[in-house]
Amino acid sequence: MIKGYFAQLILDGLKTTTIRLGKVVPRLRTVIIHSDGKPIAEALIKNVTYKKVRELTDEDAKRDGYNSIEELLNDLRDIYGRDIHQEDVVSIIEFEITKKFSDINPEDIYLGFSPHTIAILANRYLRDVLDEEEKRIVEHILRYRSIRTTSLKLFGSLEKRWIIRKTLRKLLAKLLDRKVINVDDKTIEKLAEISTFWRRYLVEKKNRYSSEQNSDFGGGNGSK
């Protein structure tokens, strides 16, 4: 989880590394960056280097969003709850932003998100509402990163790709409903001009809103 101040530095391209105590070996090359409980960007891990604390430079600190080595070490002490020693090993993880989640493409049925990114977010934020078929599709997209390959693996045919595409749109809509991804109605309205799915989604959303408003005001003969 990234602090709000550092999140903005990341989005502005001013923070391009993160320094962690110990020898860290990333499991994945593609990661989702979170701030204040929400995903803000997708990043590619470009490189990992290891140094002892005494080898760190002010340049290392600045690339991690700090003004000096002292400021970096003070934060590491707060994060890890212990003293930081000169012989301690740290990992410098260099990353590159590949997708800002604030960059929405209203001309793309997936709003500019790749199937793989949608699957990552669905796996993290929608596990409690996924049915069995959706879980299988998410797992295969995570593994193979391809609609084509997922269709062949799950259904033995490319003709079933429409099922996967439809599922990805449904998952994206659920992510919007849960405000994991924030998209304004004007953007959805623009997308609805070229997509029947998003046109239906917009109508259903407006109907839900109207129903909630009516419920807030009460109903029946006793209401005022």
Predicted confidence (pLDDT) per residue in 3-15, tens digit = 778 999 999 999 9
Select from 110, 128, 103 the least CA-distant residue to 165: 110
The whole-angstrom separation of Cα 36 and Cα 2 is: 7
**pLDDT for the residue 211:** 73
More confident residue, 79 or 214: 79
Reported pTM:
0.85
Mean pLDDT, range 89-98, rounded to an integer: 98
**Which pairs count as long-range contacts for 7-14, CB under 8 Å and 24+ apart, including other chains?**
7/33, 7/35, 7/36, 7/40, 9/65, 10/40, 10/41, 10/43, 10/65, 10/97, 11/40, 11/41, 11/97, 11/100, 11/102, 13/97, 14/65
**pLDDT for the residue 217:** 54
Select from 113, 105, 107 the least CA-distant residue to 39: 113
Of the chain, the percentage scoring pLDDT greater than 90 comes to: 80
In the chain, beta strands by DSSP E? 17-21, 30-35, 38-52, 89-100
Render pLDDT for 148-178 as a digit per residue (tens, 0 to 9).
Answer: 999 999 999 999 999 999 999 999 999 999 9
Task: Show the 3-state SS of 163-180.
Answer: HHHHHHHHHHHHHHHCCC
Backbone φ and ψ for 91, nearest 5 degrees, come out as -110, 130
| Helix, strand, coil percentages, rounded to 5, for the chain | 50, 15, 35
**pLDDT for the residue 207:** 86
**pLDDT for the residue 224:** 36
Rounded to a whole number of angstroms, the distance between the first and last alpha carbons of the chain is: 47
The whole-angstrom separation of Cα 223 and Cα 208 is: 21
Mean pLDDT, range 133-153, rounded to an integer: 97
Quote the tokens at residue 32: 């989702």
**pLDDT for the residue 36:** 86
Select from 97, 92, 113 the least CA-distant residue to 10: 97
Render pLDDT for 34-86 as a digit per residue (tens, 0 to 9).
Answer: 998 899 999 999 999 999 999 999 999 999 999 999 999 999 999 999 999 99
Full set of structural domains in the chain with CATH: 4-100 (3.10.400.10), 115-216 (no CATH)
DSSP category for residue 68:
S
Identify the band that residue 223 occupies on the pLDDT scale cut at 50, 70 and 90: very low
Identify the band that residue 122 occupies on the pLDDT scale cut at 50, 70 and 90: very high
Identify the band that residue 219 occupies on the pLDDT scale cut at 50, 70 and 90: low
Are the C-beta atoms of 60 and 17 separated by less than 8 Å? yes
